[in-house]
Amino acid sequence: MSHTTDTDVIICGTGAAGLTLAIDLARRNIEFLLIDKAPQPFVGSRGKGIQPRSQEVFEDLGVIDRIVASGGEYPVQRVYTDAGPVDEAVVELSEATPAEPYQIPLLVPQFLTERRLRERLTELGHAPHCGHELVGFEQDAEGVSARIATPDGERTVRAAYLIGADGGSSFVRKALGIGFPGKTLGVRAIVADVVAEGVSWDVWHRWGEDTASQVSMCPLYGTDMFQLQAPVPFDVDLDLSAEGLTAFLRERTGRDDLVIRAVNWASAFQMNARLADSYRRGRVFLTGDAAHCHPPTGGQGLNTSVQDAYNLGWKLAAVLGGAPESLLETYELERRPIAEAVLGLSEKLLEAAKQRDNRRGREVNQLDLGYVDSPLSLPSSRRDHGVLAGDRAPDAPVTGAGGLPTRLFGLFQGPHWTLLGHDVDDASVPTPRPGLHIHTIGARGDLLDPGGWVHSAYGLTADQWVLVRPDGYVAAVVDTAELGAVEAYLDTVGVRPLAVTTPPAPESNMSDSLTVTPRTRREHRQVRSAAEKRLATAQRELQDLSRQFQRDLRTVRRQGETKAIVARSNLAELAVQGITRLAAGLRSER
């Protein structure tokens, strides 16, 4: 039997992108439904690289320490050659700096990353619904009606927006008719999570690097498994059992002491590079692998997917809260060029790997990606140094006026915008707004920059301001005289001043508060909540009044005078019954 449920957003897909989006919406108090057709969470290690920019995202979402503890740094690679084994570092490590506190890519099996994200989502009061398959949807000007097959039967869910985070074979993308052009890269490979004997745990083992028979065994820190990887011919049937992979590994390495004891997960796949023609059709969006498909080289796919969702989350929340719908147009404008560039990098690294060059440098850490050409980046013609609008906002250690140390990332953490004033006058500080945190740095501010790290990272002079978006990118760098442009900008992204309300005159009727028509879902919820509170209060007062009438009735009866009070009691009881039915009807409609 079908039934209908309303929510703000339906997220189809519970991978890293879907979970990241769900966490971001949950901390913004946006209602959503997170579904996946799979009966249980993904159990493989496929996307195991966590780049520094994604680590910054995970810090903001409150999960970075658990993810770091779930894995480890990339190990040294041991290449077995005819002349003997050679150890070589693959990742070019850089020292952390105050502006870039995360510099080292992490190796965390994908299933552990997603487990930590689910745990964070649970802390926020939500959980994914496995075994719930999106089987169809229709959209109109007001929202999307989605048909979902569940273990208890099909139901229809009405939402303002639908997000396809359902992977490279995305049902949502195909249903929208969005093209997914690209190419097959001429490489077929196997990847498997295995329990193995005969290989040490301290290095990433590689055999046959310059041949078609290469194979590698990478330790999966946080587990007792290795990830086995190898290219394979297109026309060969593969035995992915423990016995089959043991025979495969021994053949390619020439070592009979290697044994695969168990296979936790295994897959054979063709490497592709594809990019969706569009990220949106009306009220339906694509994110993550549903919008772009990468070869595994460089560890870019999962990271790009996480940052897609991080970009989309705050924009959905802003529009649901009353910001202009046009804000959502910037999602594709900002994220699709990033995916296109990252796809090019992944292909370049794949070609290098074919020539036995597996080195990785700064180009893979995604710290230099930004949105300088975005319509959300306010240009400044007079700025020729320091950060620009669209750049990633650097971190920096600062000291609070109370004497305690903190960091800019700590001040940025959360769903809000941040406005930083550098050596500004108190009189120039803008009026506070909901969703905007304002800090001033300098001798007269609430923050001090004793090490000069803010000045160094941002290149600010006196009387300059930096506006930082909720996703950690600079929206504007302006002088105090240009703050009016920043305040006008904030209006366009839904960060508006508090409305000034006038208390009602004593003679005004209580029902006058219902004459204002709510415009947004949030306003509807606020009006409904206020009405429910008034109903509950009125019901309690009527019940108290009824009990008082009953006491009076018993007293009057003993005195022989009952008629008037009986009538009043009956009237009160009828009112209580009517209010009770009205409240019950409101709860059922909700």
pLDDT at 554 over 60: no
- The strand pairing partners of 232, in sequence order, are 188
pLDDT at 527 over 80: no
pLDDT at 435 over 90: yes
Distance from C-alpha of 473 to C-alpha of 57, rounded to nearest angstrom: 11
How does DSSP assign 167-222, residue by residue? -TT-HHHHHHT----EEEEEEEEEEEEEEEESS-SSSEEEE-TTSTT-EEEEEETT
Mean pLDDT across the chain, nearest whole number? 87
pLDDT at 116 over 80: yes
Q: Is 364 helix (H, G, I), strand (E, B) or coil?
A: helix
- The strand pairing partners of 191, in sequence order, are 229, 267
**542 and 579 Cβ atoms separated by less than 8 Å:** yes
pLDDT of res. 354: 46
pLDDT at 513 over 60: no
What pLDDT, in 10s, does the model give residues 315-361? 999 999 999 999 999 999 999 999 998 887 765 665 545 445 555 56
pLDDT of res. 377: 96
554: its two tokens: 């018993």
Mean pLDDT of 56-63: 98
What pTM was estimated for this model as a whole?
A: 0.83
Mean pLDDT of 406-433: 96
Mean pLDDT of 195-209: 94
The b/e string for 325-354 (b: 16+ C-beta within 10 A; e otherwise) is: eebbebbbebbbebbeebbebbbebbeebe
What pLDDT, in 10s, does the model give residues 215-241? 999 999 999 999 999 999 998 899 999
